Chain A
């Protein structure tokens, strides 16, 4: 490798000092004069038609304005891939936690109190929570047509023929859980309109320019009229990719011409952002007597909950990585993302590629045990190297030090 001066050094992180001394500014640290406080009214039902009455809440002393879908000046929709989430639910809710209204008041206390006075009449609809059930034709439909939001299909070689040649075949079903990013800083932000008329939203995000676009769409203004300021971010892990409070804050400031601030409680944060997709994974893996993998079949059913978020990309990534880092000549993978009335799922560290190894790596050990070879050995016999092709036929033409990684663990652990 070429000799370098700074790359490769253990430089102290440039943002470190401010963070450990408490000087770094997080959204919750920003105080604006005369700022109003926002509080989100959320669905308590999993699937229901709604009618919203804000009259009583509006009359409460200190309430400035209560926003509902009727107040959305632009598109009442957002979403990283499909605009299937509403800024405020207009006709129905699809999960617990769906935003229905936004109370803007002179204090946090009043905003929260008034939110309890927003009357929501729910007419409950049949709901579905199991993604396998949700795929059936007679399942309650959560969006417009089918609950199957995405299907990825991978075919390589001839799986049926290949299984006939296997000395050992292992068939198992695995399930991963829905989990939470649990970043330390809950969603928080301030918004205001500056002297130039630009709507400023200051909130922690992973992708400021995309938030700018979605806020502009929600307000029905040009992108240039929206400025996203992204102060210190208290952890993200994928949980700050979808819009949470940004459009609500922007819309309030835009309509009232007054600064607004808000911070979610931990409990609210659990419902506000996406979760990790739980995936049901049916695997069938076959090898010859030397432990060489010959065929693999996998069906992956990912529960994306009430909204798509990154479901397509997550289940695509799960499908592409389903074999694990091994050469297998015959592969059939079917990967689905399915709507249910669960909390919605989206990006989280590993993004589909974290779930599938729970299955594929246990399959490896089960096969190894049946053949009487070690977990290290079966991996060394099958692992990707330079020149290998993945299940999607992609040539790995350089930088594939997997064998080295396995040998390092072999030497240090066993």
Chain B
């Protein structure tokens, strides 16, 4: 028999190294004689979309598109330290550093443009497509390359996040910032003859502060959901006495595209004032609510609660049989 049930999970996640440990990101923005803009920052693209996000942040400030900027992030000899691509911190931390550096560059360019165009102030100057022009008189205009003389123009900025060390006796303090929130709900179908749990519907309401790129947010939700699904019902190293028995993908099962469903993704925006354009980190939060939502839905479906994961078919079947026996 196939039984259906619904369940939810609500979670929060604090960004960053935490507990008062200095969490620093650095960024350099450079413009060369051809007016080409480069950003140097060692934020690793691990697939989460860091390169695109960083370019959107810099592009927003400098009036450029994502493909107008050269992003150098792959070489320790060319870049300064921007911390690890972890703790959901790159958008918030390095995003802030890049935004600061881009703003500093913009300020520098506007002042150079003011002098070049013989204006009294930088007021009313607009930056777009590698040029700076006066909004009330667009003919008064200068290109980035005209502002670069002998040396490339270079600015460097860094961002340090705020957190405090917790008290050793009470654990009181402000260990992380910002916090990201979510609530995910799923509907499952449990086959009581095979023990197979299938997720048939998923609704993911994810706080993001502000979405820099909704497509990438949705991609993260899909990826995080898949990982939470695997954690709940599939992934098992079968580690006995220190030995991993399932050490290949024929034995260690992870979700594939065939196990995924079309999720209903709801991006909830509530900008965070200390974040770049209000954007919080979501790389990890997209996973945290999935597993409990599935476990709660399975309970709703078959009336059996599981206190250990993963709930592979053999365990589900055994639990169903045990509960039937108890009922007799």
Contact = CB atoms under 8 A, between A and B. Distances in A.
Does A pair with B? Answer: yes
B171 A319 contact: yes
Contact of B310 (A177, A206, A390): A177
A225 to B, nearest CB: 11
Contacts of A402: 10, 12, 181-183, 207
A270 B252 contact: yes
Interface residues of A, number: 114
B9 to A, nearest CB: 5
A320 B175 contact: yes
Residue from B175, B207, B268 whose CB has the most chain A CB atoms within 10 Å: B175
Contacts of A390: 179
Contact of B18 (A156, A237, A317, A393): A317
Contacts of A228: 75-76
B311 to A, nearest CB: 10
Interface string A187-213: 000000000001000000111111010
Contact of B308 (A174, A212, A360, A391): A174
Interface string A386-414: 00001111111011111011101100111
Given A393-B173, A406-B205, A6 B56 contact: yes
A390 B207 CA distance: 18
Taking each of B17, B206, B230, B295, which has the highest tally of chain A beta carbons within 10 Å of its own beta carbon? Answer: B295
B86 A230 contact: no
Interface in B147-200: 166, 168-176, 178-179, 181-187
B67 A14 contact: yes
Contacts of A350: 13, 284, 287-288
Interface in A220-247: 226-238, 240-241
A401 B272 CA distance: 11
Contact of B71 (A14, A212, A409): A14
Interface in A232-264: 232-238, 240-241
A190 to B, nearest CB: 14
A343 interface: yes
Given A13-B51, A178-B239, 20 more contacts: A6-B60, A6-B65, A7-B210, A14-B52, A129-B241, A155-B169, A175-B307, A207-B44, A209-B83, A230-B42, A266-B247, A321-B13, A347-B86, A353-B288, A354-B287, A361-B296, A394-B174, A405-B268, A413-B187, A413-B203
Interface of A: 1, 4-15, 46-47, 95-96, 127, 129, 152-156, 172-180, 182, 198, 205-210, 212, 226-238, 240-241, 266-267, 270-271, 275, 313, 316-317, 319-321, 324-325, 333, 340-343, 347, 349-351, 353-354, 357-358, 360-362, 364-366, 375-376, 379, 383-384, 390-396, 398-402, 404-406, 408-409, 412-414
Interface of B: 6-14, 17-19, 42, 44-47, 49, 51-52, 55-57, 59-60, 63-67, 71, 73-77, 79, 81-87, 166, 168-176, 178-179, 181-187, 201, 203, 205-207, 209-216, 224, 227-228, 230-231, 235-237, 239, 241-244, 247-249, 252, 254, 264, 266, 268-273, 277-280, 283-284, 287-289, 291-293, 295-296, 299, 305, 307-310
Ranked 6 nearest A-B pairs via Cβ: A154-B171, A361-B292, A207-B84, A46-B242, A408-B205, A325-B12
